[in-house]
Chains A and B, each alone.
Chain A
Amino acid sequence: MVAVQKRARPLLAGGAAAALVLGLTACAGSDAGGESTAAASDCGGFPDGDIEFVVPYSAGGGFDTWARLIAPELQERLGVSVPVVNREGAGGITGVTEVYGSKPDGQRIVITEPGILATTLLSGEVSTDFTSMVTLGRATVGPEVIVVKGDSPWNTIEDVQAEGRELLMGTGGLAAVNIISFDALGLPFTNVVHEGSSEALLSVIRGDTEIAIFPLGSVAEGVRGGDLKPLVVVGSEPGADNPDADVIEGVPTLDEVTGEDGLGAALEQHRMIVAPPGLSDCVVDTLADAITDTFESEEFQDLARDANLTPAHLGAAEAQEVFDGTFVTFERYQDLLAAQLEG
């Protein structure tokens, strides 16, 4: 009998361990209740139970951090649990595709970026019509920066253009922002693919590749330390509250260099919360209002600042304009994208 009891102990320990970890995982998104401010009754019973907030990337990344910051606030305002679920895969497409196919009842939303959706759609790899998705609001926007090695002889993009030859570009996989911005600048390039942005930037610092374009947040430390030199900002100037704004002070934007108005804004990364197509206006309003309310609260802004994030909120209607605009802009470049992406 003694032996049996002895055997049981490690098993119990394992069970308790599993429970603890599951508990920890859930902690990020539980603590339901709070004061319910949303008018629950006028939308056919919405919200009816948990609202799943899908992050189409793994935990710990930029999209994930935003979702985990916003979810508890929505929970408080809608009065139901808003668990964050990571559904990574296919470079951020799997999670969005799943939400696209869900019932349009507002119980499942996803944080994504229209650029990647437009690129995937235009490449013809998937048949999901992402354009019909409903936008609930934009969380933030961040410019992309074209960088070269810190001690490179090139000091402006004109110096690079004067080279008049094909450049070696370090990428973490070819994206529309690479293809379109370099086409607009008249810079032909050969793509050297890396595992991710870190490896690609390191290749620029080593001098194995000559040029790269990555989000401001990824290049900021390299620029500050003198390892990287910013040449062009693709996107709008970030607000003064962006902790990395100092890095690209005085650097010309893509629009300034090319004279094409609004191209940079279409290429930079807009992180948005979207829902499946066919969502009723009433549910859209309820969710969008809760998001707007979140971004307007001082408390949330403090939280975001603590997490080193810069909110740049847009309401549902304005965000939808940006969302649709991205697909329109990218469509202009469809032939170019198709040619490059098919390699």
Chain B
Amino acid sequence: MIEGLLAALAELMTWPTPLYLVVGAIIGLIVGVLPGLGGAGAMALLIPFTFVMEPAQAIAFLMAVGISSGMGGQVTSILLSVPGDPPNAATVVDGYKMTRKGRATEALSAATFGSLFGAVIGLVLMLAVLPFARELVLAFSYPEFFLIALLGLVMISRLAGKSVHKGLISAAFGLMIAFIGLDPVSGNQRFTFGTLYLWDGIDIVPPLIGLFAGAEMIALFAARSNMSLAEHITDRSRVVDGFFATIRNWFLVIRTSVLGFAVGLVPGIGGTVASFLAYGHAARTSRNKAEFGKGAVEGVIAPETANDADKGGALLPTLAFGIPGGVLMAVLLSGLLVHGVPAGPNLLRGDLHIVYVLVLAALIPRLIAGALVLLLGAKATVITKIRGDIIAPVIAVVTLLSVYALRNEILDVFLVLVFCYVGYAMERYGFSRVTLLIGLVLGGLVEQSFHQTMTAFGALGFVTRPLSVVLIAAIIGTLLLPLITGAMRSRKARSPHMEEVR
């Protein structure tokens, strides 16, 4: 394996491939910064440009674009509350709060190192399980999909904020939105009002942009002061703070990496689900739970780690079956096909060279993009010092334009505007925007995998598979853990001499 990786490295370091890696990383960063257009979309548009390249160069270039966009997305998520890519959405919650508190550099650095560690762990896991990739991918079926989604919904209770009721109301609202569109089983229209626009349901991007970016822009205006994005003008945090925060949370990094990797393994569930699950997991297990939603660095590390580790997992179904583990992989696969590189069973049985090229092509651009984020991102924090009434309109225009350009759909722009006010109102009256988004992201998956299980396995299918039993145990554990720790803590409180331990 080591020789294989070295040979792949030698190929990637042969001129002009390094140039493609750097250019790809820069394009990916820019695409990531723009809300809406994600890495996969950019890769799709760039495939024609790779026709003239050698297969390894094309892979390197496409991977660089797709991989780096997540790193660009985290910058706007943290600095401007604009999720550049849907998988960065969970980062907004605490990342932007950190910016408001003058810790933007620390947040950026924590996100970057979280991404890097997540990526490395994800790829190492991928190489480790490569020999039994097929069995692993086949182990996940409908009941597991359903239970993964349920696990995500269960975490909502922890993220609900002060009022559990309000949290549940917003989650239910999110689920309602998720059920708009054609019924996946019968094909009947639901809440479409007869318009074609609502047939496919509500795309994740407009609610995401509206709820986070839009609501914050309105809040800036509503404050009617010279306030800038950051409440504390001086950003005293440093890059090393973020690095050490990541190191300090090494166990969280490992757990969320494994989580992201496992989610990536499942075709059809992507980085967005991974990052929300990781965020929920971090919020449940963190020692300073009260800080969550108010600028906890764990809330930045967890989603960013998970949504990069997930790409290691997503490579497996792509390589083992020629079946993409997500949109990004689907585009990569069509890129590979164009270059006559057949993914699928024969690839793993034969020469693994192209696999090693893929792994390194997934890693090197991250290092380049990470370095750029740390160098330029820290400088970009000056944006947060510009007066709100000047910067907010600029952000609004760029954001709305990007949303329109994504699908050439003007109704998407109106939807963003609607969700701006919804988000602003929710924030004002103490409803959780995160639980709404989790409901929205997981709603379709819950419904579809429920029907699939019932049709293919019957109701017993949920409980008669080993992996599903493990997941059920995790769900029950998640539900009961606060009760148990709460009981233990109250016992500790009763015995005063134990108090010093905490």
Give the B-binding residues of A (Cβ under 8 A).
6-7, 9-11, 13-14, 17-18, 20-22, 24-25, 27-28, 58-61, 64-65, 68, 85-91, 93-94, 97, 123, 125-126, 168, 173-174, 190-196, 198-199, 201-203, 205-206, 208-209, 221-222, 224-227, 306-308, 341-343
Q: How far is the CB of A13 from chain B (nearest CB, A)?
A: 8
* A87-B407, A201-B323, A208-B142 known; A195-B196 Cβ under 8 A: no
Q: Which residues of B contact A209 (CB under 8 A)?
A: 456
Q: Which residues of A contact B31 (CB under 8 A)?
A: 21
Answer yes or no: B423 CB below 8 A from chain A CBs.
Answer: no
Q: How far is the CA of A191 from the CA of B454 in the complex (A)?
A: 12
Q: How far is the CB of B479 from chain A (nearest CB, A)?
A: 28
Q: How far is the CA of A255 from the CA of B152 in the complex (A)?
A: 48
Q: Which residues of A contact B323 (CB under 8 A)?
A: 198-199, 201-202, 222
Q: Which residues of B contact A68 (CB under 8 A)?
A: 48
Q: Which residues of A contact B358 (CB under 8 A)?
A: none
Q: How far is the CB of B403 from chain A (nearest CB, A)?
A: 13
Q: Which residues of B contact A89 (CB under 8 A)?
A: 196-197, 199-200, 407, 409
Q: How far is the CB of A87 from chain B (nearest CB, A)?
A: 6
Asked if A343 and B455 make an inter-chain contact with CB atoms under 8 angstroms apart, the answer reads no
**Partner of A193 from B33, B42, B184, B457 at Cβ < 8 Å:** B184
Give the A-binding residues of B (Cβ under 8 A).
27, 30-31, 33-34, 37, 40-49, 51, 137-138, 141-142, 183-189, 196-197, 199-200, 267-268, 317, 321-324, 330-331, 334, 337-338, 340, 342-346, 376, 379-380, 382-383, 385-386, 394, 398, 401, 405, 407-409, 448, 451-452, 455-457
* A93-B196, A202-B321 known; A21-B456 Cβ under 8 A: no
A-B residue pairs in contact (CB < 8 Å), sample of 6 = A6-B382, A28-B45, A192-B451, A198-B323, A221-B346, A306-B338
Asked if B408 and A87 make an inter-chain contact with CB atoms under 8 angstroms apart, the answer reads yes
Asked if A307 and B338 make an inter-chain contact with CB atoms under 8 angstroms apart, the answer reads yes
Q: How far is the CA of A94 from the CA of B346 in the complex (A)?
A: 38
Q: Which residues of A contact B37 (CB under 8 A)?
A: 21
Asked if A64 and B268 make an inter-chain contact with CB atoms under 8 angstroms apart, the answer reads no
Asked if B199 and A192 make an inter-chain contact with CB atoms under 8 angstroms apart, the answer reads no
Asked if A18 and B268 make an inter-chain contact with CB atoms under 8 angstroms apart, the answer reads no
Asked if B141 and A225 make an inter-chain contact with CB atoms under 8 angstroms apart, the answer reads no
Q: How far is the CB of B351 from chain A (nearest CB, A)?
A: 15
Q: How far is the CB of A47 from chain B (nearest CB, A)?
A: 21
Asked if A17 and B34 make an inter-chain contact with CB atoms under 8 angstroms apart, the answer reads yes
Asked if A194 and B268 make an inter-chain contact with CB atoms under 8 angstroms apart, the answer reads yes
**Partner of B448 from A22, A193, A205, A307 at Cβ < 8 Å:** A193
Q: How far is the CA of A64 from the CA of B338 in the complex (A)?
A: 14
**Partner of B321 from A6, A190, A222 at Cβ < 8 Å:** A222
Q: Which residues of B contact A168 (CB under 8 A)?
A: 455-456
Asked if B45 and A198 make an inter-chain contact with CB atoms under 8 angstroms apart, the answer reads no
Q: Which residues of A contact B455 (CB under 8 A)?
A: 168, 190-192
Q: How far is the CB of B219 from chain A (nearest CB, A)?
A: 21
Q: Which residues of B contact A65 (CB under 8 A)?
A: 47, 334
Q: Which residues of A contact B324 (CB under 8 A)?
A: 198
Q: Which residues of A contact B337 (CB under 8 A)?
A: 308
Asked if A14 and B344 make an inter-chain contact with CB atoms under 8 angstroms apart, the answer reads no
Q: Which residues of B contact A18 (CB under 8 A)?
A: 34, 398, 401
Q: How far is the CA of A90 from the CA of B48 in the complex (A)?
A: 26
Asked if A198 and B340 make an inter-chain contact with CB atoms under 8 angstroms apart, the answer reads no
Q: Which residues of A contact B186 (CB under 8 A)?
A: 342-343
Asked if B330 and A11 make an inter-chain contact with CB atoms under 8 angstroms apart, the answer reads no
List 16 additional contacts besides A10-B380, A93-B199, A221-B342; criterion CB under 8 Å: A13-B380, A21-B27, A25-B45, A27-B49, A87-B408, A88-B407, A90-B199, A193-B184, A198-B267, A201-B323, A202-B137, A209-B456, A222-B323, A224-B344, A227-B344, A341-B187
Asked if A10 and B382 make an inter-chain contact with CB atoms under 8 angstroms apart, the answer reads yes
Q: How far is the CA of A47 from the CA of B159 in the complex (A)?
A: 58
* A59-B44, A168-B456, A208-B456 known; A306-B451 Cβ under 8 A: no
Q: Which residues of B contact A93 (CB under 8 A)?
A: 196, 199
Q: How far is the CB of A271 from chain B (nearest CB, A)?
A: 16
Q: How far is the CA of A48 from the CA of B346 in the complex (A)?
A: 51
**Partner of B267 from A28, A59, A202, A341 at Cβ < 8 Å:** A202
Residue of A24, A61, A202 ringed by the most chain B CB atoms within 10 A: A202
Q: How far is the CA of A226 from the CA of B43 in the complex (A)?
A: 30
Asked if A60 and B40 make an inter-chain contact with CB atoms under 8 angstroms apart, the answer reads yes
Asked if B196 and A97 make an inter-chain contact with CB atoms under 8 angstroms apart, the answer reads yes
